[in-house]
Amino acid sequence: MNCDGECACGANAECDIVEGCVCVDGWTNPQQDGDLVACLEDVNECDDVSTHSCADTSTCTNIDGSYTCDCPPGSQYDYDTNVCEGGIKKITKALLCVVDGLTVLLSLRENDDSVCFE
Ligand SMILES: [Ca+2]
């Protein structure tokens, strides 16, 4: 940073008035790139569950500067609720319930706990 408080930041970097050029989210390893400081190394968010929010039912795919959560065919990821929406959902815990004519099984969403009502 120069005396005017200006940074010479390159790709994927932004000026911080204290630290100088810092990487924007999704990028790391700031390095001199000619006259600029640039962050050219992508963060692989999928390597660490603490750096992505993909639900267990989806697959994390690393992309440059970010990541995507990919759902089973026919459904789409809702990044607000972090679940796969739409498509065919399997009942995975249905065998825990005894459905005997008086019991209604109320779970149609994959990986949710099934609820039995007598
Ligand atoms: Ca990434």
pLDDT digit string (tens) for 27-66?
A: 999 999 999 999 999 999 999 999 999 988 899 999 999 9
* φ, ψ for residue 28, nearest 5 deg: -150, 180
pTM check: above 0.95: no
Separation of CA 26 and ligand 1 centre (Å) = 6
Task: Name the percent of the chain lying above pLDDT 70.
Answer: 69
CATH of domain 45-85: 2.10.25
pLDDT > 60? residue 91: no
Q: Give the contacts of 83 (CB within 8 A, at least 6 positions apart).
A: 55, 57, 77, 109
For residue 30, what pLDDT is reported? 94
For residue 56, what pLDDT is reported? 84
Segment 95-106 mean pLDDT: 56
Could you tell me the pLDDT band of residue 73, with boundaries at 50, 70 and 90?
A: confident
Separation of CA 5 and ligand 1 centre (Å) = 30
Separation of CA 46 and ligand 1 centre (Å) = 8
pLDDT > 80? residue 10: yes
Separation of CA 29 and ligand 1 centre (Å) = 13
Separation of CA 111 and ligand 1 centre (Å) = 27
